[in-house]
Amino acid sequence: MDSSVATQVSARGCEPVVPEPRGPLSSAVLSTLVRQPPGGPLPLHEVAHSDPYGEDLQLALYACYELHYRGFGGVDPGWEWDPELLRLRAAMESVFHEALRGDVAGGDSRDNLDRELDILLAEPREPRGVSQHLRRDGTREQLREYFAHRSVYQLKEADPQAWVIPRLEGPAKAALVAVEYDEFGGGRAERVHARLFADLMAEAGLDPTYGRYVDATPAVTLATVNLMSYLGLHRAQRAALVGHFAAAEITTAPTARRMVDAIDRLGAGPACRFFYSEHVEADAVHEQVLRRDVIGGLLDAEPALLRDVVFGIQATGLLDDRMERRLMDCWREGRTSLCERGW
């Protein structure tokens, strides 16, 4: 499939298929969605017994969130605001949020914030991450796996962050909109970053259809996307979303440089290379804008939100690290990092 086909697939805006359940929570949610609303009571009691980072809860949460994006093929749009689904989603969000709060260090001072931002800018002493591996030793098949993982977010890149726009004001709002404008192609449809990733997928021999690889995506990857959706959908989490966005943009440019090297080494093709080279240039600028104007502007207006900004940065790092460990552990053992049912 070439990039022109990817463009056609992207332009059709295909609704993703309903994924396969992975346990009682996701089974309850997905079996509900294939019926007509309204729905009945859902198994709230299962939430307390579920692993907050586990396959079942993360898929159930992902399915609930997807109703606010493009939905699923054949699923009634009315489910988006169904009271029972929202009640179950809130219970799962509470468990997820509490787990994240318990697993990060936290911090409520400017020194804490500056330290977290400086950590993001520091290159690791030991080359141990996914992009370092792909640049040095990775195979083409591992590169394709990584693209499949990333597709769950990249095909909706910058969409979750747009929810924070009406919740900001003044300099923070203006600066964040400027960053989002770049993410959405600067007014050019062919330069929208999600579109560029669809072109990358097609060139790599992957299906660029939105949501195609959800069934292949493990919970550690779904959780990285669910965090963005959770923070974006809740006004109370607006500062955490700003922290998340800053963390994502600050770390993207150095990662993208390594990915350009990996793509050159593996001969992945010009569309693959262009996606990452575009991020090297754009996100190096975004890092300064987000740190100085978005975070700075937000905290000048609402200094009490500093703790939430730090949480957003730390939670993003926590989940990204868990995803990277999954990939590296699987590859060291000579097996796929994806769920084979959808790959």
pLDDT in tens, the chain (343 residues): 444 434 444 434 578 999 999 999 999 999 999 999 998 999 999 999 999 999 999 999 999 999 999 999 999 999 999 999 999 999 999 999 999 999 999 999 999 999 999 999 887 655 679 999 999 999 999 999 999 999 999 999 999 999 999 999 999 999 999 999 999 999 999 999 999 999 999 999 999 999 999 999 999 999 999 999 999 999 999 999 999 999 999 999 899 999 999 999 999 999 999 999 999 977 678 888 999 999 999 999 999 999 999 999 999 999 999 999 999 999 999 999 999 887 7
Residue 8: the pLDDT is 40
What's the burial of 150, exposed, middle or buried (CB within 10 Å: 0-12/13-18/19+)?
buried
Q: Provide the 10 A C-beta neighbour count for residue 281.
A: 12
Residue 121: the pLDDT is 84
Torsion of CA 233, 238, 243, 246, to 10 degrees: 80
| Contact (CB, 8 A) for 243 and 316 | yes
| DSSP reduced 3-state for 99 | helix
Q: How many CA atoms lie within 13 A of 81 on its CB side?
A: 1
pTM of the entire structure?
0.94
Residue 341: the pLDDT is 81
Q: How far apart are CA 60 and CA 280, in angstroms?
A: 34
Q: 106-342 belongs to which homologous superfamily?
A: Heme oxygenase-like (1.20.910.10)
How is the chain split into domains, by residue range? 14-101, 106-342
What does the radius of gyration of the chain's CA atoms come to, in whole angstroms? 19
| Contact (CB, 8 A) for 69 and 156 | yes
CA distances from 30 to 16, 79, 295 (A): 13, 11, 38
* Residue that has been written with the tokens 């009406």 in this structure: 166
Please calculate the CA angle 144-150-154 and round it to the nearest 5 degrees.
Answer: 125
| Contact (CB, 8 A) for 253 and 287 | yes
Structure tokens belonging to residue 69: 């994006």
**Type of residue found at 147:** F
Q: How far apart are CA 131 and CA 139, in angstroms?
A: 12
Q: How far apart are CA 57 and CA 77, in angstroms?
A: 22
Q: What single-letter DSSP state applies at residue 293?
A: I
Q: Provide the 10 A C-beta neighbour count for residue 267.
A: 9
| Contact (CB, 8 A) for 188 and 287 | no
Residue 337: the pLDDT is 98
Q: How far apart are CA 228 and CA 281, in angstroms?
A: 23
Q: How far apart are CA 255 and CA 134, in angstroms?
A: 11
Q: How far apart are CA 205 and CA 203, in angstroms?
A: 5
